[in-house]
Amino acid sequence: MARFKIALIVGSNRRESVNRKLGLALARLGASQFDVTLTRIDDLPMYNQDLEAELPDSVVRFKAELAAADGILIVTPEHNRSVPAVLKNAIDWGARPWGKNSWAGKAAAITGTSPGAIGTAVAQQHVRQVLGVLGVLVMGGEAYITFKPELVDEAGNVTDESTRAFLRSFIDQFSALLDRLSPAQQAAA
């Protein structure tokens, strides 16, 4: 199976973000299949159409990172039963200016963690809906992870065996999807 370049986007700008920990743990779990780059979104300015005349450097960088990625892995918290503002802001910048939608044609997988019982399910559904509108193929299935302090250890590993197995199958599913979409596979079909 090919190796894929993955842009990891974490929907939290919090220093001690549990979603960043989960995202980096997923990167470790997928190390044999993926080259993962943590794609910053906390330096993007608040979206403003006036800024489109001369795109800020951080936006240019962000859109280039999306363009270079074979797949996008979004790991997000849920804020007030929806998408955190920092992530929605990044999604909006990626879609602009008109005609330069950096999301179109990309494949994405979405997961996230929160201490709540439904583990970011609503936020993930909202992200899925918005990315669908922007032409992203979002991997099917569900991965709503209830956060426990011991979920990821100091070394960045998922401690619970069954959660680790579940997350590995999530990674394997994403890898298989990207493989099916890869030009080499399509040429062979």
Ligand X SMILES: Cc1cc2nc3c(=O)[nH]c(=O)nc-3n(C[C@H](O)[C@H](O)[C@H](O)COP(=O)(O)O)c2cc1C
User: What are φ and ψ of residue 52, in 5° steps?
Assistant: -70, -20
Could you give the C-alpha distances from 45 to 19, 73, 134, in angstroms and in order? Answer: 21, 22, 20
**Best CA proximity match to 28, nearest among 182, 180, 152, 112:** 152
Under the binding rule (CB under 6 A), the answer on residue 83 touching ligand X is no
Least distance in Å: CB of 28 to ligand X?
Answer: 17
Rounding to the nearest 10 degrees, give the CA dihedral for residues 99, 100, 102, 106.
40
* Span near ligand X by CB under 6 A; candidates 11-19, 24-32, 58-66, 153-161: 11-19
- Rounded CA gap, 189 and 187, in Å? 6
Of residues 77 and 175, the one with the C-beta less far from ligand X: 77
SS3 category, 5: strand
Subset of residues 90 to 119 that bind ligand X, contact rule: CB under 6 A: 114-116
The count of residues interacting with ligand X (CB under 6 A) is 13
Choice between 91 and 95, CB closer to ligand X: 91
**Site mask for ligand X (CB under 6 A), range 14-53, x = bound:** x--xxx----------------------------------
CB of 109 to ligand X, least distance (A): 17
Least distance from ligand X to the Cβ atom of residue 169, Å: 23
Q: Whole-angstrom Cα distance, residue 145 to residue 158?
A: 12
Residue ranges binding ligand X (CB under 6 A)? 12, 14, 17-19, 77-81, 114-116
